[in-house]
């Protein structure tokens, strides 16, 4: 087993350990701990897909719901060859805490299919998506579980799922997914929401730490949707983006990169590697560059016991889910690095997904300015609440965020009671 696979399989244990730390702070009893540390529903499906050459292949997919005490389940769908149950359990649990951190009325879910979408034609990808949507239709719905895009899925994927679900119902159900194209019920500002939410909490962190974002040196690992947009937004705030990377490697220029030109280069070459006037680095080397703000926006477990001691930054803003493991967290605390945890820093996406869902249910839509205004209010308030707990209890921001989130979910579960 590769190291990467081993770490991925341990994600759920990592998520449970983070939960238990918060449960200890809150003094939760063992019964409630059992309820909140396990997934409520888990569905595994094996389904056939007709390929372009006339052959039939069988794919494995999942949809997991962690907790729905505060509202319908919410969470993305990812297409990746290494999708596995423990990964999805962890991500579903993190979604529960993320929604509770920013106080939106959702529980957590996650889904995925074991597939490399790059090896499929668009027609095959549509066939796979529609069949997968049909298989998980017994769990998803606007009042029960609302999927969204995640790794290797996008607005088109959501459009296929929405259409498939609607065909089964016999009428259009736009609110069954979020992250859709705007012309079929998507929300203005959704595409930038994760990055913009991250930008808002970075601004608040800089203010509390007496740092100026104007002129701050920023490194972004992961130059997909979230990473590329947060790089652009921070550059608009005056930050100097000194390094970025994608799955193929990284580029570094201590004087700063022109983010828009890097985006254009990647669109043309499908990679940032080879961008002119920049030093080529590996995906992990850029994590050890000296900077003011490090934004991990790629996959889980990128910051660990092997490299955390070499990280030279003031702020880590987790635009990805679970990029920092428990050992790295402790090292960052010991070294005085201020971590903006994922359940706060990347909650902008699910917050605007909530806005999209609300708009779909009402058939009344906002413009992007209204979306960004409401997102700013929620992210600033959530940061202030988490920061207050961290200061009062003299603990790190992740522990503070978990105390806030787990406390809210536990309170809802206790108030509702155990049925029957």
Contacts of residue 188, Cβ cutoff 8 Å, sequence gap at least 6: 182, 365, 366, 367, 368, 371
Verify whether residue 310 is a known catalytic residue: no
Residue 36 burial (CB count, 10 A): 23
Of residues 246, 233, 223, the one with CA closest to residue 202: 233
Q: Check 110, 180, 217, 266 and give the catalytic one.
A: 110
Query: What letter does residue 67 receive in the DSSP assignment?
Result: E
Nearest to 180 by CA among 207, 149, 226: 149
Cα separation, 198 vs 201, in Å, equals 5
Contact 198, 345 (CB under 8 A): yes
Of 333, 271, 273, the closest CA to residue 303 belongs to 333
Which burial class, exposed, middle or buried, applies to 409 when counting CB atoms under 10 A from its CB (0-12, 13-18, 19+)? buried
pLDDT tens, residue order, the chain (420 aa): 333 334 444 889 989 999 999 999 999 999 999 999 999 999 999 999 999 999 999 999 999 999 999 999 999 999 999 999 999 999 999 999 999 999 999 999 999 999 999 999 999 999 999 999 999 999 999 999 999 999 899 999 999 999 999 999 999 999 999 999 999 999 999 999 999 999 999 999 999 999 999 999 999 999 988 999 999 999 999 999 999 999 899 999 999 999 999 999 999 999 999 999 899 999 889 999 999 999 999 988 899 999 999 999 999 999 999 999 989 999 999 999 999 999 999 999 999 999 999 999 999 999 999 999 999 999 999 999 999 999 999 999 999 999 999 999 999 999 999 998
61: β partners = 45, 113
Taking phi over 0 as left and psi of -120 to 50 as alpha, with beta for the rest, 27 belongs to left
pLDDT of 2 reads 34
Rounded distance between C-alpha atoms, residue 250 and residue 243, angstroms = 7
Fold of 3-174: Rossmann fold (3.40.50)
Could you write out the DSSP letters of every residue in 139-160? T-BTTTEEEEE-TT--HHHHHH
pLDDT score for 284: 86
CB-CB contact of 203 with 213 (8 Å) = yes
End-to-end Cα, the chain, rounded Å: 44
pLDDT at 217: 98
Residue whose pair of structure tokens reads 């965020």 in the numeric block: 401
Which DSSP state fits 290? Answer: B
Task: Report the pLDDT value the prediction gives residue 300, as an integer from 0 to 100.
Answer: 85
Spans of all domains in the chain? 3-174, 193-340
- Contacts with 38 (C-beta within 8 Å, 6 or more apart), sequence order: none
365 CB neighbour count, 10 Å cutoff: 16
One fold for both 3-174 and 193-340?
yes
Give the model's pLDDT for residue 334.
96
- The 3-state DSSP class for residue 77 equals strand
Kindly report the CA angle at 198 between 177 and 89, in degrees rounded to 5?
Answer: 50
Q: Residue 10: what pLDDT?
A: 81
Alpha helices in 170-224 (DSSP H): 193-209
- Structure-token pair, residue 47: 């389904």
Q: Residue 320 CB: number of other CB atoms within 10 A? A: 25
Question: % helix / strand / coil in the chain, to the nearest 5?
Answer: 50, 20, 35
Give the number of other Cβ atoms within 10 Å of residue 370's Cβ: 13
pTM for this model (two decimals): 0.94
Per CATH, which fold does 193-340 belong to?
Answer: Rossmann fold (3.40.50)
């Amino acid at each position: 087993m590769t190291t990467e696979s081993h770490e991925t399989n341990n994600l759920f244990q990592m998520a449970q350990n983070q939960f238990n730390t918060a449960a200890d702070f809150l003094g939760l009893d063992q019964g409630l701990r059992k309820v909140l540390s396990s997934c409520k529903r888990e569905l595994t499906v094996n389904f056939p897909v007709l390929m372009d050459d006339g052959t039939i292949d069988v794919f494995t997919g999942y949809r997991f719901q962690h907790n729905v005490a505060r509202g319908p389940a919410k969470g993305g769908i990812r297409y990746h060859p290494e999708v596995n149950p423990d990964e999805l359990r962890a991500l579903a649990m993190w979604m529960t805490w993320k929604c509770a951190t920013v106080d939106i009325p959702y529980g957590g879910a996650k889904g995925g299919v074991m597939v490399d979408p790059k090896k499929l034609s668009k027609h095959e990808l549509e066939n796979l998506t529609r069949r997968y949507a049909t298989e998980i239709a017994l769990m998803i719905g606007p009042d029960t579980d609302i999927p969204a895009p995640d790794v290797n899925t996008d607005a088109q994927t959501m459009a296929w799922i929405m259409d498939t679900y609607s065909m089964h119902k016999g009428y259009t159900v736009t609110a069954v997914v979020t992250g859709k194209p705007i012309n079929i019920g998507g929300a203005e500002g959704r595409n930038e929401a994760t990055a913009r939410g991250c930008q808002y909490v970075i601004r608040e962190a800089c203010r509390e730490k007496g740092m100026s974002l104007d002129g701050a040196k920023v490194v972004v690992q992961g130059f997909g949707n979230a990473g590329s947009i947060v790089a652009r937004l921070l550059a608009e705030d005056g930050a100097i983006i000194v390094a970025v990377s994608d799955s193929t490697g990284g580029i570094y220029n201590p004087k700063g990169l022109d983010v828009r030109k890097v985006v254009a280069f990647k669109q043309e070459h499908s990679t940032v590697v080879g961008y002119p006037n920049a030093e080529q680095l590996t995906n992990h080397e850029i994590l050890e560059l000296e900077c003011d703000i490090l934004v991990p926006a790629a996959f889980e477990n990128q910051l660990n016991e092997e490299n955390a001691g070499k990280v030279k930054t003031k702020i880590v803003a987790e635009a990805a889910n679970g990029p920092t493991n428990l050992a790295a967290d402790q090292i960052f605390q010991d070294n005085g690095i201020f971590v903006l945890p994922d359940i706060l820093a990347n909650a902008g996406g699910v917050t605007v997904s909530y806005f999209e869902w609300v708009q779909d249910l009402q058939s009344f839509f906002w413009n992007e300015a209204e979306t960004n205004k409401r997102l700013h209010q929620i992210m600033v308030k959530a940061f202030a609440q988490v920061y207050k707990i961290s200061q009062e209890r003299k603990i790190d921001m992740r522990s503070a965020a978990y105390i806030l989130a787990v406390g809210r979910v536990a309170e809802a579960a206790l108030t509702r009671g155990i049925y029957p």
